[in-house]
C-alpha cells in the first residue's frame, strides 16, 4: 500500500511537470508566443499536442484522487489524529484540482465566471493548506517524540496557505481583462496585453502551489505519523 501511495504521488507531480513542459513545446512548435506572465492556462492547449496535454492534465487529477484514497488506508497512528480530518483535507484539495481543470476551458473574456472560479480555486488551496497546518500542529502537541518534525511541517503548511491566500487580495484582479493602450511612432494606437496579466500569472502561481503543496502535505503527514 505504501509503495502504491508513493508511486501515485510521484506520478502525479511528474505528470504536472510533463504537462508544463509539453505545453511550452506545443506553443514553440506553432511559433506562438507563450509566457506564464501573460497567457492563461486554457491558451496553452490546441495544436498537435492538445490530446497529450489533456491526458496529462486528467492524469494529475486522477492520480491525486488515487493518492488521497491510498493515504486514507495507510496504517497511521490514529491516536494522534483522526482519519476524518484527512478526508476533509482531501476534499478541499480535490475541489481545487477540479476547478483547475475547469479553468483550462474558460475564456478570459467570460470575466465574472472566470473570476468566481479563480477565487474559489485559490480559497480551496488556502483552506486545504491551512487545515493541514492545524492537523500537524495538533500532532506536534500530542506526540511524545520528535515534536520538531510535525511542528516544522505545520509552519510550512501555514506558509503555503498564506502564499495561496495573499494573491486573492490583489485589487487588480477585479479588472483583470483590461488591455493596455499602446501608441506607435506614427501616432496610431492599439490594445495589447500587459506585460504581466495579473490573473494569468497568479493562476499559474496558484497551480504550482496546488501541486507542490499537495505532494508535500501528504509527505508531511506520512513522516509525522510513522
pLDDT class for 177, splitting at 50, 70, 90? low
The Cα–Cα gap between 69 and 183 comes to 55
Residue 226: per-residue pLDDT = 66
203 grid coordinates: 493562476
Please report which confidence band the pLDDT of residue 191 belongs to, taking 50, 70 and 90 as the band edges: low
Helix spans in the chain (H) = 2-29, 50-72, 83-103, 111-142, 148-165, 198-224
- More confident position, 176 or 215: 215
**Buried residues in 164-202 as b, exposed as e (16+ CB within 10 A):** bbebbeeeebeebeeeeeeeeeeeeeeeebbeebbbbbb
Give the pLDDT confidence of 61-75 residue by residue, as tens digits: 898 888 888 887 776
Region 132-147: mean pLDDT is 79
Our CA angle for 126, 5, 75, nearest 5°, is 95
Taking the C-alpha atoms of residue 154 and residue 134, their distance in angstroms, rounded to an integer, is 7
Mean pLDDT for the chain overall? 82
Q: Which residues have a Cβ under 8 Å from the Cβ of 203 and sit 6 or more positions away?
A: 40, 41, 103, 118, 121
Domain that holds residue 22: 2-224
Q: What is the pLDDT of residue 158?
A: 93
Least confident of 37-41, 52-56, 182-186, 201-205: 182-186
Indicate if the alpha-carbon torsion angle 47, 119, 162, 193 is positive or negative. Answer: positive
Ranges 26-35, 41-50, 179-188, 201-210: which has the least confidence: 179-188
Given a cut of 90, is residue 161 above it in pLDDT? yes
Say yes or no to pLDDT of 213 above 80.
yes
pLDDT at 174 over 80: no
**Using CA atoms, how far apart are residues 128 and 38, in angstroms rounded to an integer?**
27
Segment 27-49 mean pLDDT: 76
Q: What's the pLDDT score for residue 181?
A: 67
Q: Are strands 189-192 and 180-183 parallel, antiparallel or unpaired?
A: antiparallel
Contact (Cβ atoms closer than 8 angstroms) between residue 4 and residue 42: no
Give the pLDDT of residue 159: 93
161 neighbors 129 (Cβ within 8 angstroms) = yes
Mean pLDDT of all residues in 203-226: 84
- Structural domains counted in the chain: 1
Percent of the chain's residues with pLDDT above 90: 14
DSSP-derived 3-state class of residue 145: coil
pLDDT digits (tens, 9 = 90+) for 91-119: 898 899 899 888 888 877 787 888 889 89
Amino acid at each position: 500500500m505504501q509503495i502504491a501511495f508513493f508511486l501515485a504521488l510521484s506520478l502525479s507531480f511528474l505528470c504536472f511537470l510533463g504537462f508544463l513542459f509539453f505545453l511550452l513545446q506545443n506553443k514553440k512548435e506553432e511559433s506562438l508566443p507563450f509566457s506564464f506572465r501573460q497567457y492563461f492556462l486554457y491558451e496553452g492547449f490546441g495544436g498537435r499536442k492538445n490530446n497529450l496535454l489533456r491526458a496529462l492534465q486528467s492524469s494529475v487529477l486522477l492520480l491525486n484522487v488515487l493518492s488521497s484514497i491510498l493515504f486514507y488506508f495507510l496504517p497511521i497512528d490514529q491516536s494522534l489524529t483522526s482519519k476524518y480530518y484527512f478526508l476533509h483535507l482531501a476534499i478541499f484539495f480535490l475541489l481545487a484540482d477540479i476547478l483547475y481543470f475547469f479553468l483550462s476551458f474558460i475564456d478570459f473574456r467570460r470575466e465574472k465566471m472566470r473570476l468566481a472560479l479563480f477565487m474559489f480555486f485559490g480559497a480551496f488551496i488556502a483552506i486545504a493548506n491551512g487545515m493541514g497546518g492545524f492537523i500537524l500542529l495538533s500532532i506536534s502537541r500530542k506526540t511524545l517524540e520528535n515534536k520538531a518534525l510535525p511542528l516544522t511541517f505545520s509552519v510550512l503548511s501555514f506558509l503555503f496557505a498564506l502564499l495561496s491566500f495573499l494573491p486573492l487580495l490583489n485589487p487588480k484582479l477585479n479588472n483583470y481583462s483590461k488591455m493596455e493602450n499602446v501608441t506607435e511612432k506614427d501616432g496610431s494606437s492599439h490594445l495589447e496585453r500587459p506585460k504581466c496579466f495579473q490573473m494569468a500569472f497568479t493562476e499559474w502561481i496558484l497551480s504550482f502551489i496546488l501541486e507542490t503543496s499537495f505532494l508535500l502535505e501528504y509527505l508531511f503527514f506520512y513522516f509525522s505519523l510513522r
